[in-house]
Amino acid sequence: MRIIRLDENSKQNILSDLLKRDPNNYSQYAHTVEAIVEDVKENKDKALFAYTEKFDGALITGDTVRVAKEEIQEAMEQMDPALLEVMKRSMKNIRAYHEKQRRQSWFDSKPDGTILGQKITPLESAGVYVPGGKAAYPSSVLMNIIPAEVAGVQRIVMVTPPGKDGKVNPVTLTAAHLAGATEVYKAGGAQAVAALAFGTESIPRVDKIVGPGNIFVALAKKAVYGHVSIDSIAGPSEILVIADDSANPRFVAADLLSQAEHDELASAILVTTSMDLAEKVSREIDGFVKDLSRKEILEKSLENYGYILVADTLDQAVETANEIASEHLEIVTRNPFEVMTKIRNAGAIFIGEYSSEPLGDYFAGPNHVLPTNGTAKFFSPLGVDDFIKKSSIIYYSREALKEIHKDVEAFAEAEGLTAHANSVRVRFEEEE
């Protein structure tokens, strides 16, 4: 793994390199995606089923597109009992964490006759996209559905591509059932996103679409934004580790590879104040890669976006981490909690050598749907807030309005909006 002395020039080059991974740069696919979205919007089920046959090789009809109770039961019977228990323990942690995010409506009543407040209302419906095919991602199912369920969303719809046999992966289906999905449909790709956004004869539309997917899914979510809400346009996975000479090089190497194995565009970066640690981590990575199952992906990922940066000071390392704003940030230093207080931009922060990133992916409880590509500077992890709406509450008695009505009228007239001013003035015209 390449080792680079960190300076302003090398930092800017790396930042520029990482931005190439942004899904918004893949405009060559946009026309294809927009055509699929428009086709499903116009032709509904007919287009949806045609694309499912074309891309997934499955013959789906209006009678089979929704997963039946019998299919859920069959899937649960195929589950490894040990894995089922692990999933249940993971769910318990995820639900407990997200329940602490719940907000309550509030009202502030004052003696002058005013009541101000905020009313919290869950979304009526949410759509969850889950990748399919041969792979199963039950952790993503749990992380996307449970916050919606905790928020109080009544209709939680999951879509996922079927196999050629027209069935949904049993692990994925079991996770959806346990987490609280109210409906599951056999549809994937841009066509499934369009179906959720606009509705078809078989799939009623939803208010918000969340969940990861390939570039076609990401661009489809971008295309339907405004018709529905979305969580984000997710980019490739990434990890950044801040470490000093106290860090265990073998642990650090293993954690970097835990994200590099996702795909060839994944980013794994170590920023350290120790050249000795940098060299040891590089050697440990070489040793691990030879024995890991996704060797080719790991090698390509590290070649494309893997860096070991050697900083002069810990403050320089922190500054670099804040500029990169990584999805996952590990702090493995002598005083990791002190370093944590200086971090402004990160999706999830893992503190200490035993808080490895996969804890966040599978089990600890915080959500693993995180901002990528530097968007941690202004976005947050998926959570309960993503599935609620806030309405402002305003009440003024006649006495309260009388006290300030001339102020409101003056403001409105200053903006040239005389009808606004009149709306208040008319309530007191008999007194003037």
**Active-site positions?**
327-328
Residue 385 is given by DSSP the state: G
CA distances from 292 to 95, 250, 261, 295 (A): 32, 14, 9, 6
CA distances from 98 to 142, 147, 193 (A): 12, 6, 25
Phi-psi region of 211 (alpha: psi -120 to 50; beta: other; left: phi over 0): left
Report the interhelical angle of 249-260 vs 295-305 (nearest 10°).
100
- Does residue 120 sit in helix, strand or coil? strand
- What is the residue type of 317? A
CB-based burial of residue 413 (10 Å sphere; 0-12 exposed, 13-18 middle, 19+ buried)? middle
Rounded to the nearest 5 percent, the helix, strand and coil shares of the chain are: 50, 15, 35
CB atoms within 10 A of CB 264: 16
- Residue by residue, DSSP assigns 289-346 as HHHSTTHHHHHHHHHHHEEEEE-SSHHHHHHHHHHHT-SEEEEESSSHHHHHTT----
Provide the edge-to-edge strand list for the sheet that holds 106-109.
106-109, 114-122, 388-396
Cβ(61)–Cβ(203) under 8 Å? Answer: no
CA distance 426 to 17: 61
